[in-house]
C-alpha cells in the first residue's frame, strides 16, 4: 500500500469570515512546481482551508537528501472581484504583487516543538510590507526600475552587475532564472526586493514560495508536517446612512446601536441626493470592520422629529453590502465607505 505523509500545508485565514476560507482564492502551480512535484514523488491537494503537499513515505529520501535549495512556487489568484472591498489591502498597487515565503522568518523544528502554524508574513496580517515590485521577461528594466546601472542578487549570489541601455529587458539580464531577487540601482542604492515572473504566469494577486533544502530552518525535518498561514484582515469602512422621509419631514435626531451597544455616528446633516430628494445623513465616526456575518446582531436606529407624523421611531438598519464599498484617495490617504439608503 502506498502511504503519503504531509510535507507542508498552507492555510488562508480571513477576518471577514472569521475563519479559514479559500472560496475567494485559486492556487495556480507554475511549470517549475509541477516539475518538482514529479521529481520528488510529491502530491498536491487543494483543501477547504488552502492546500497541502504530501510526500510518498517509501520515496522520502528523494527530498530528504536535497543538497540545494528548492522553491515550491504557488501563484495566488483572486476569484472574487469584490475581494479588495472587504480585505484590508492597498488599492494603489499597479505592477506589484504580494509575496510570501518561508525562508526569512521560519522557526526551526526544535524551537517550535508543538508545531504551531507559522505565518508567511512578518506582521500579524497581510500588509503593505508584503508587496514587492514585479517584472516579466519583456519588461524594460530602465522603465520598470529606473536607472542605467543595476545590481541583481538571488539567494545572496550576485547574478548581474553593470550598465544597461534604455531598451534592455529583464530576459536579457536574468534569462529564465525566475523568482525573488534583490536589486539596486545608482538611484536606489539600498537593496530592494522584486519578483521576476515567467512569461506564462497568469495575472495573479500574489506569490507563495515554500523552500525546502540545504539551508538553515528549511531542511526536510524543519519543514515536514509544518502548517503555514496567510492571514488577511477585514477592511474597516465608514458606514453612511441616508434617511429619506416618505412624508418629507426633517429628521432631527438619529441614534444607532448594535443590539444594546450604542455606536458613534456624526450629528445628522441635511443633504440633497443626486435625484433631487432631501435626506438626513449620518456617518460612523470611525471606520467599522466589515463581516460576512454579524451573528444575528440587529442594527437599530432610533429617529425622531417634531412633526405630527411621529416623534420617535425605531427601525432596523441594513448592514453594508461589500459589492458597494467605495474608495477614494485624499492627500495620499485611502478612505473607504459604504452608503446605504433607508426610507422612513
Q: Are residues 80 and 219 in the same domain?
A: yes
Residue 62: partners with Cβ closer than 8 Å, 6 or more residues away: 39, 40, 41
Q: Are 95 and 133 in contact (CB under 8 A)?
A: yes
Average pLDDT, stretch 121-130? Answer: 93
Q: Are residues 87 and 155 in the same domain?
A: no
> What does the pLDDT read at residue 7?
96
Q: Which of 213, 232, 251 is the last residue of a domain?
A: 232
Q: Are residues 71 and 160 in the same domain?
A: no
Query: pLDDT of 285-339, one tens digit each?
Result: 999 999 998 877 788 898 887 655 556 788 999 999 999 999 887 777 778 999 9
Q: What CATH number is associated with residue 325?
A: 2.60.40
| Cell numbers standing for residue 103 | 525562508
Burial grade of 87 (CB within 10 A; 0-12, 13-18, 19 or more): buried
Q: Are residues 20 and 114 in the same domain?
A: yes
Dist. CA 202–CA 249, nearest whole Å: 55
Instruction: Tell me which residue of 94, 52, 55, 93 sits closest to 74, measured CA to CA.
Output: 52
Average pLDDT, stretch 160-172? Answer: 95
By residue range, what is the domain housing residue 185?
137-196
Q: Answer with the residue of higher pLDDT: 94 or 122.
A: 122
Q: Are residues 163 and 186 in the same domain?
A: yes
Average pLDDT, stretch 153-177? Answer: 93
Please, what is the end-to-end C-alpha distance for the chain in angstroms? 69
Query: pLDDT of 55-108, one tens digit each?
Result: 999 999 999 988 888 999 999 999 999 999 999 987 656 678 899 999 875 554
Q: Are residues 205 and 191 in the same domain?
A: no
Q: Are residues 152 and 168 in the same domain?
A: yes
SS3 label, residue 275: coil
SS3 label, residue 172: helix
Q: Are residues 301 and 211 in the same domain?
A: no
Average pLDDT, stretch 140-150? Answer: 92
Query: pLDDT of 168-209, one tens digit each?
Result: 999 999 999 999 999 999 888 889 999 999 887 767 889 999
Count each helix (H run) and each strand (E run) in the chain, helices first.
6, 25
Q: Which of 232, 255, 278 is the last residue of a domain?
A: 232
Q: Are residues 256 and 269 in the same domain?
A: yes
Q: Are residues 216 and 77 in the same domain?
A: yes
pLDDT(53) > 80: yes
**109 confidence band (pLDDT: 50, 70, 90):** very low
Q: Which of 232, 255, 283 is the last residue of a domain?
A: 232
If you write DSSP's letter for every residue of 173-242 in order, what string do you get? HHTT--EEEEEEESS--S-EEEEE--TT--S-SEEEEEEEESSTT-SHHHHTTEEEEEEEPBPEEEEEEE
Q: Are residues 40 and 171 in the same domain?
A: no
What's the number of domains the chain is made of?
Answer: 3
As a whole number, the mean pLDDT across the chain is: 89
Dist. CA 206–CA 27, nearest whole Å: 10
Q: Are residues 39 and 126 in the same domain?
A: yes
Amino acid at each position: 500500500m502506498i502511504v503519503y505523509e504531509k510535507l507542508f500545508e498552507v492555510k488562508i485565514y480571513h477576518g471577514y469570515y472569521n475563519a479559514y476560507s479559500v472560496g475567494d482564492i485559486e492556487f495556480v502551480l507554475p511549470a517549475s512546481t509541477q516539475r518538482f512535484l514529479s521529481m520528488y514523488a510529491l502530491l498536491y491537494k487543494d483543501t477547504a482551508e488552502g492546500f497541502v503537499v504530501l510526500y510518498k513515505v517509501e520515496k522520502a529520501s528523494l527530498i530528504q537528501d536535497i543538497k540545494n535549495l528548492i522553491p515550491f512556487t504557488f501563484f495566488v489568484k483572486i476569484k472574487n472581484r469584490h475581494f479588495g472591498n472587504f480585505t484590508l489591502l492597498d488599492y494603489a498597487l499597479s505592477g506589484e504583487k504580494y509575496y510570501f515565503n518561508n525562508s526569512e522568518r521560519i522557526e526551526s523544528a526544535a524551537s517550535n516543538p508543538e508545531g504551531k502554524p507559522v505565518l508567511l508574513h512578518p506582521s500579524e496580517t497581510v500588509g503593505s510590507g508584503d508587496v514587492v515590485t514585479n517584472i516579466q521577461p519583456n519588461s524594460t528594466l530602465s522603465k520598470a526600475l529606473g536607472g542605467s546601472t543595476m545590481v541583481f542578487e538571488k539567494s545572496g549570489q550576485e547574478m548581474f552587475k553593470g550598465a544597461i541601455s534604455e531598451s534592455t529587458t529583464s530576459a536579457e539580464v536574468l534569462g529564465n532564472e525566475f523568482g525573488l531577487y534583490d536589486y539596486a540601482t545608482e538611484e536606489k542604492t539600498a537593496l530592494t526586493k522584486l519578483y521576476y515572473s515567467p512569461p506564462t504566469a497568469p495575472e495573479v494577486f500574489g506569490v507563495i514560495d515554500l523552500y525546502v533544502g540545504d539551508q538553515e530552518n528549511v531542511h526536510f525535518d524543519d519543514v515536514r508536517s509544518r502548517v503555514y498561514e496567510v492571514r488577511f484582515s477585514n477592511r474597516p469602512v465608514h458606514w453612511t446612512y441616508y434617511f429619506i422621509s416618505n412624508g418629507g419631514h426633517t429628521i432631527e435626531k438619529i441614534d444607532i446601536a448594535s443590539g444594546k451597544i450604542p455606536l458613534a455616528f456624526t450629528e445628522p446633516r441635511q443633504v440633497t441626493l443626486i435625484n433631487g430628494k432631501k435626506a438626513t445623513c449620518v456617518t460612523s465616526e470611525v471606520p467599522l470592520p466589515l463581516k460576512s456575518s454579524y451573528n444575528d446582531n440587529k442594527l437599530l436606529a432610533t429617529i425622531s422629529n417634531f412633526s405630527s407624523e411621529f416623534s420617535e421611531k425605531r427601525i432596523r438598519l441594513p448592514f453594508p453590502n461589500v459589492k458597494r464599498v467605495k474608495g477614494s484617495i485624499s492627500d495620499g490617504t485611502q478612505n473607504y465607505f459604504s452608503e446605504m439608503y433607508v426610507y422612513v
